[in-house]
Structure 1
Amino acid sequence: ASLLATDGARCGLLFVFSIPLWWLFEVANRFLGNWEYVLPHPYPPVVYALLASLAFSTVIPALFTTATLLRTFPVFRRPRYWLRLAPSRRGLVLISLAGLALVILALSFPRVAFPLIWIGFFLLFDPVNRLLGNTSLATDVAGRRWDTVLVLFAAGLICGFFWELWNWHSLPKWVYHIPYANRPTLFEMPLLGYGGYLPFALEVYAAYHLLHWSMFRRQESFVTFDQSRPPSDR
């Protein structure tokens, strides 16, 4: 069943949590300058903030509903076991601090370090989730489970493709200013930029679960695409 059909009210939280998440990236972009918006006309600040927040509210729902749909296909339905990565609590703290350092580097030296923002937030947030006992990809890979990582990668690429397609001839729209990588492009996005949708999907997942924990002090149980089933259960 779709997320909306499962529980409409809880699905609404995806939209709510999506707003501060993308505003976080907008704040980061004040330093990075990697994209800007082309508007049909100037908007008053309050109107702009409201319209932008409405648009930003769709990011998490788009990724999570796509991931949920992908889980219905056999290639994504099975558990995927691979390398075990299980750092200690101290290791998790160090990884989180490294993520913070990557974010600071990206913001401090945006011309050369801007790509680090797309992995830094994930490395900052996901170990914190693990340390809190919250849902995390760190917990999955500690058990050699990589299927949620793979389905998020696929959902990120699919959503990224359609976001860029729909943006291409739209107005308002966004355009990119990427040092050293502005060509070739697919729609407005430099081709290399699509690689950023892979870690971005992981960041969204980690940030969502951290936001949920911060608000409710418990693990989230509504999103289920991270719960694959073995063949015997189907």
Structure 2
Amino acid sequence: MTISRKILYLLLAMAALLFLPWLGGYFFYNGEFPADFYAYPPLKPISKPGFNLPIFAFVAIVCLGITAIYIMPKWFGFKKTIIENTRNIPRVKLPIWFWFGLICWAISLTFLALHLKQPAWFIHWSDVPLFWGAVLVLDGIVYKRTGGKSLVAIIPQELIGIGIASMTGWMIFEFMNFFVDDNWYYPWGNILDREEFLLYAFIISSGLLPLAFEWYLLFLTFPKLANRFRNGVKIVLSNGLKNGILIISLASMFAAGLFPNYLFFVLWVSPPVVLGIVLNKIGIWTPFDPIAKGNWAPVLLSALTYLVAGFTLEGQNYLSAIHDGQTALFTNDPAYWQYSIPFVNVAHIFEMPVLGYFGYLPFGVYCWVWWIACATLLNIPAKFLKENPLDI
């Protein structure tokens, strides 16, 4: 396959993530979106169907099944992998960027958690040092546990590239959020002008995807976790089945815009599947590929990254506001978010409904395949085109 054709297929796949939900929404609104439909940031929740016990129970059963894969992998055909610890890891100190990141993260979180009002310029933009401070802290821990190997130490240019790709990778979700009637919104987003908030959103989102990669590398430093899912069921999909899954995934993204209250979750599940299949078809490695050899570790661990990262982000988000019970009364953080999710919007941990955390699992995989897609388009020799980019 020629390079130009590979680029074309990737661009079409990326365009589909934007166009198909828009097309579904176009039909949903009979060709005329409401006047404030694209207002960003969304400041208020849109009315949604209330709690539904049968739907909640069904989703909960699915989530329990997913949880069981991580807790009891042998139930799903995973065999125990013998771990031979023959490596002598050099003892190194925590690097200087760990301490710099810790200071940035701690100061930002302190200002937000104490709900300070001054200096306003710092508080309003504090998510930048908060997110990137966490990235540097995680990288420093990886550096120490591997004896001197980390993204900052070995391939800082790739970490920067992931950060740049993160801005478009996340803003796609902000765009898709319009077509599921704003599942999340920013009730204090009007602290900033809309133009400034848009710039702010681009900049702070640069720290979102790097968190996934840092957590993944940290997971690899724990041999039992890193090897827990390497010896599982081998699944090889035929081209016909891949095509079928791709068509269903694309159709579901269109349907999500058409039925936003019932298929809103599709916008988390389908993007990594669409990108993963298209990348596979043009001959580019993805974390899905090792499944053919029974190695599920790249997919399951990359999914786990944002279950952990998402939980910490939700905690930081919750601390940044003053609450009366579950009601947020005040915050100085313009990016403070809340959720408006149909049917299952109960049993919150922080602002997120408990079942909503499982949406972070496909997003973790999306982070990896999005970076692979961007690196392929730009002909970047990315190290993350294999399971263990640092040979930990």
Report what 2:272 is aligned to.
122
Unaligned runs of 5+ in 2: 1-148, 321-332
Unaligned runs of 5+ in 1: none
Offset at residue 27 of structure 1 (A): 0.6
Q: Which residue of 176, 184, 189 corresponds with 1:28?
A: 176
Write 1 or 2 for the structure with the bigger share of helix.
1
- Corresponding position: 1:56 with 2:217: no
Q: Secondary structure at the match of 1:220?
A: coil
Quickly say closer, same or farther: Cα 1:204–1:73, change in 2 above 3 A: same
Distance 1:44 1:30 in 2: 19
- Corresponding position: 1:221 with 2:374: no
- Corresponding position: 1:176 with 2:339: yes
Aligned AA for 2:382? E
TM-score (norm 1): 0.90
Offset at residue 91 of structure 1 (A): 2.5
Report what 2:259 is aligned to.
109
Report what 2:164 is aligned to.
16
Aligned AA for 1:65? E
Distance 1:149 1:138 in 2: 6
Aligned AA for 2:216? A
Given that 1:157 and 1:194 are in contact with CA atoms closer than 8 Å, whether structure 2 keeps it comes out as yes
Q: Which residue of 138, 155, 162 corresponds with 2:305?
A: 155
TM-score (norm 2): 0.55
Distance 2:244 2:151 in 1: 35
Offset at residue 158 of structure 1 (A): 0.7
Given that 1:101 and 1:120 are in contact with CA atoms closer than 8 Å, whether structure 2 keeps it comes out as no
Aligned AA for 1:24? I
Larger radius of gyration: 2
Given that 2:285 and 2:385 are in contact with CA atoms closer than 8 Å, whether structure 1 keeps it comes out as no
Distance 2:384 2:288 in 1: 19
Quickly say closer, same or farther: Cα 1:39–1:175, change in 2 above 3 A: same
Q: Which residue of 196, 215, 219 corresponds with 2:359?
A: 196
- Corresponding position: 1:144 with 2:305: no
State how many pairs are aligned. 229
Distance 1:27 1:215 in 2: 23
Larger mean CA deviation between 144-153 and 21-30 belongs to 144-153
Offset at residue 107 of structure 1 (A): 1.9
C-alpha RMSD of matched pairs (Å): 2.1
Given that 1:168 and 1:187 are in contact with CA atoms closer than 8 Å, whether structure 2 keeps it comes out as yes
Distance 1:53 1:199 in 2: 22
Offset at residue 17 of structure 1 (A): 0.4
Q: Which residue of 67, 91, 110 corresponds with 2:216?
A: 67
Given that 1:99 and 1:122 are in contact with CA atoms closer than 8 Å, whether structure 2 keeps it comes out as no
- Corresponding position: 1:207 with 2:370: yes
Of all paired residues, the percent bearing the same amino acid is 28
